[in-house]
Amino acid sequence: MEQVAGVYLSYPFCAQKCTYCNFASGVFPQEQARQYIEVLSNELRSHVWEWLPETLYVGGGTPSTVEVAVLRRILALVPGIPWKEATIEAAPGTINLEKAIGWAECGINRVSLGVQSFVEAEIRRTGRKHTAQVVADELNILRQVGIDNVNIDLIAGLAGQKAASWRESLDWVERLAPPHVSIYMLEVDEDSRLGKEMLLGGVRYGASDAPSDDQTAEFYEMAVERLAQMGIERYEISNFARPGFASLHNLKYWKLEPYAGFGADAHSFDGRVRRQNPESVSAYMEGKPAESAPANVDEERFFVGLRLLAGIRPRSHEWQRFEEPIQHFLDEGLLESENGVLRLTGRGVLLSNEVFQEFIRS
Ligand code: SF4
């Protein structure tokens, strides 16, 4: 029996839709959220567990708004407690002492805080309501109940962001000293209101005041350097941790280890087949079937595994199959290879999408 798989639970409901967000999440009537919990619980109940979950990740959306009693009932349907790592995603402004105590009692031992920025002008433009002080207070509450393993998410490239304000956010990270930080570069695409406005050259959501791609890349590099000085090292393109605090659950995705996802848009992988639940909440709740497709593990090792800074150890047939793109990127200085390990260079990280696309095409 496989003992090391992870479980992902999706709760795609939010109090408001953030301007930069391109996830399949949204604002829905409360009654729908209540019914969703029932459907999710039924999916968990009907699952045949062939292994004991090692990690659990409750993502969203904003699962930190779920009442503790309800969360307790859902988590009771997942075997394996105490999980080695059990994370809940939280929006700042939704945590209080009672809730944090409840989380700890349910087995939650890690919280991922969607801070995005500590600078009020930037936060307001995203549609969020928190302040830096709220984050500091909630981090204290979590530590009080013994949840020290906290991640802080930041976004480089938000509207109105300047080098000085980005520095201010990084100063707050230093002050709060979390063991894990995620730095995402804003994705400018049609799926978020801000991205769409930027593509159209409009001014709403501060779109005309958003940093250029080059500035965003500079902010990212600035963060890599500052976090390293704090002892928080990059271990994946967007993820940074103190020794021993890399996310065990997320590592499963990058190492192509098995996991099972439940809820709308949740993905599962059993080592051979990838499965995706319907993306929309309504389709999921109507019981539309999940879609499955065989995984292409060779390719995925390159465009998923290479996200890890430790790199991958290609098998001999993979060196042969991808000889051309590997050599090309080694020559370009985007990949480096040592003792059979292939990894992205610092410059390769910045151009990683270009590198990955080549492996998908090969
Ligand atoms: S960023 Fe998070 S909280 Fe904001 S809309 Fe997207 S999923 Fe919801």
Q: Whose alpha carbon is nearest atom 6 of ligand 1?
A: 21
DSSP label at 26?
Answer: B
Is the beta carbon of 61 within 6 A of some atom in ligand 1? yes
Is the beta carbon of 18 within 6 A of some atom in ligand 1? yes
Tell me the pLDDT tens digit for each residue of 264-293.
999 999 989 999 999 999 999 999 999 999
Over residues 160-179, the mean pLDDT reads 98
Which pLDDT score is estimated for 358?
87
**CA distance linking residue 314 with residue 298, whole number of Å:** 9
Which pLDDT score is estimated for 1?
43
DSSP label at 24?
Answer: S
Asked if residue 160 lies in contact with residue 194, where contact means CB atoms within 8 angstroms, the answer is no
Cis check for the bond before 325: say yes or no (omega within 30 of 0): no
Tell me the pLDDT tens digit for each residue of 311-356.
999 999 999 999 999 999 999 999 999 999 999 999 999 999 999 9
Q: Report the atom number in ligand 1 closest to the C-alpha of 25.
A: 7
Q: Whose alpha carbon is nearest atom 1 of ligand 1?
A: 21
Over residues 154-163, the mean pLDDT reads 96
Is the beta carbon of 304 within 6 A of some atom in ligand 1? no
Tell me the pLDDT tens digit for each residue of 103-125.
999 999 999 999 999 999 999 99
Q: Whose alpha carbon is nearest atom 5 of ligand 1?
A: 17
139 alpha carbon – ligand 1 mean position (Å): 19
Q: Between the ranges 21-30, 63-72, 180-189, 197-206, where is the mean pLDDT highest?
A: 63-72
Using the CB atoms, write b or e for 12-37: b if 16+ within 10 Å.
bbbeeebbbbbbbbeebeeeebeebb
Cis check for the bond before 201: say yes or no (omega within 30 of 0): no
Is the beta carbon of 25 within 6 A of some atom in ligand 1? yes
Q: Whose alpha carbon is nearest atom 4 of ligand 1?
A: 18
